[in-house]
Structure 1
Amino acid sequence: MVLYAFLLLLGISLAGGMESGIIGGKVSKPHSRPYMASIQVENKHHTCGGMLIREDYVLTAAHCLNRSAFSGRGNFEVVLGAHNIHQDEKSQQRIKVLKYIQHPKFQSDNTEKDYSYDIMLLKLKNKAKVNKFVKVMPLPKKNGKTPANVKCSIAGWGLTTPKGVEGSNVMREVTLILQENSKCKESWQHYFNSERMICSVSDGKHAFCQGDSGSPLICNTKPQAIASYTYNGSCVNKTYPQVYVKISHFLPWIKKKIG
């Protein structure tokens, strides 16, 4: 059985749905996260989050490209400097994506996907103009360990309730607590890789949800991971931790690709 089917049977929801979501959080202070990107498809539909890591590169989740919504890749755009993504704010920069660079180990023979490699670079057609609304987020410098019980935050545009239908117009953020790797492994079995992944546990009220794939998990002001997947049907499920791909593990790959 391919991994995707197994994930659905387990109840995993890939967090990059056409709805987006931050559950139990608060509205972000406008432009307080100038590195954030809204990845959009035709008709300006937000589908994933991302992070500006160089003027011409955004880091996000690899599975965002595999969704049916991305069949029209020519309409794939990144919006930077946004607070309200349903308004044409003067601070916004809308830039088309020139090239998609999925990690080569994410997908094998178009069948089984390894979500411990759920990471992708987007090469922008034009360089972003760095200003007070749009800034590059420096990557972590080395592959270090992120301890459990640390409070981290994640932001995005979307659902404010687990069973909502439409996402929030404005960026929202939530604080989450990292879970021990052993407990992540216990829940997700061999689909959780301790070397390449970390996870957070929901208290039943706070979580990231569909549409926040690719959004960076920020711990102590530094980006530590990229949101990958959560539990299907209830993003605030307490039994199954929410899973992220560690950025630090992929630093050599990222640096090789962006030069």
Structure 2
Amino acid sequence: MKGKGQTLQAATIKIFLAHGSPTGLRTAEISNWSGKAITAPRTEFSSLLKREELANPGIYFLTGVDPDTGDDAIYIGEAEKVAGRIKGHANKDFWNSVVVFVSKDENLTKAHTRYLEGKLIEMAQEIGASKVINSQTSGARLPESDSADMDIFLEKCLQLLPVLGVNSFKATVDKATEEEDILYCKIKGLTAKGKRTSSGFVVFSGSKAVLEHRPSSTRFKAKREELMEKGILEKQNNHLVFTKDVEFGSPSTAASIVRGGNSNGLTSWKDANGKKLGQIEEEKT
């Protein structure tokens, strides 16, 4: 596995739309890789089960929404014959789509898939982007050479998953980033730290936010209260503290949560020299 701060290798991805629909049954492959992904929405589950690849060992992901909390949810599994195993999940109502990974050279064994499943469950739980439905991890010990091969296989799976709409394993940001990339939002002596991401803006764990909602917080009051209920925003003395990294859809949403009311993220977030985010991005264009 690549460590934090390392750059993924460039890759050519081939996606085949089995029925012509970009959201329907499709396969995905990376050049010079022995793995293959097959994904489908629940509405095409029967077509997926007929795929010959699913008669092989593999790992799979059921993704959807937790009916109790409304949060993204994921189930991670493995099987020697994937089709038979995922067919048994037809009675679970939370999931809307399924992604399967198999090996084109048929060299995946039961120990390999258990190793991958254990790693993936552990990663998903640590990242916390989705609720992991699995009650426990499995995992398996492998010889050193096999575990090295499976770590490479896992790396490719993680590279493909976001392309296929699964973001449960997308670590929000590498904190070991350059200091010049860190942005700060300050209010009433409190400081939050964050960074632009490819899909929004992440506020780092340990950042501080105001305790009280401002009159302008009508749009964000419910979101702040939800974060407090989940323990992501925790009261400490006379302020709130982020207990984990949280990615928001925009810098403005992130700033509004920190400041307790409507805020313009392009002016609220500044670098260590006080330069506003909007100005920083304007200078880069």
Q: TM-score, normalised by structure 2?
A: 0.22
User: Which has the greater radius of gyration?
Assistant: 2
Q: TM-score, normalised by structure 1?
A: 0.23
Larger RCO, structure (CA 8 Å, separation 6 or more):
1
Q: Which structure is higher in helix share?
A: 2
